[in-house]
Structure 1
């Protein structure tokens, strides 16, 4: 699995993508972060959002959060280093759906200790684009 490091600037287009894809950042999540394209599937959006956490792109996270569940602001903790993403499963969320789910495991490091976040995330389309809705209970 690919590893990512917390950054203060966006990765170079030739750098490995933090989401764990075999593609370079400039051919994977980079165009989504820059607004040059939209995620074609719920999984692609999930991967790009993970990458946004890894590179500290809170603006992208806010833009890709459903209007009804989006917080007023988002402050990312610079002490959190996102290490790797593992997609555990998906439900619907293809270019032919309007809703989808992605189950994932994200490994992070804080204060020298590793932890993990597991979530079953829900995604919906707003104005034709995939956005993060919430976590399933």
Structure 2
């Protein structure tokens, strides 16, 4: 069936199937984390890495699973790599939230500050202000 489709539709079908598979694994990962099943979470994180999701938030889910499984250094390296290789403000935002969650507020501020103000969402701007306020009062 797929081979009878034009190339553009085949790509769209492939992308849709990949997104559905990724979402399924993300849901399994979230369930494993909620149940404190770090072994299962690590397996789901490995599956997600193989799928190579482009969503910043799915990438953050992978990093969170790795942290929960005791692999913070690997999670840190992946998040840094993904953020460095992306101009997407959402990836920068996901990275900044990841850093903030790890208590690395100075780095989170630096990452969010590099996103041009015109490209920051309200949530990004609000988090940047909160981080700066926390920094000035802490």
Mark yes or no: TM-score above 0.5: no
Q: TM-score, normalised by structure 2?
A: 0.34
Whichever of the two has the greater Rg, that structure is: 2
Identify which of structures 1 and 2 has the higher relative contact order when contacts are C-alpha pairs closer than 8 Å and 6+ apart. 1
Structure in which a larger fraction of residues adopt helix = 2
More strand by share: 1
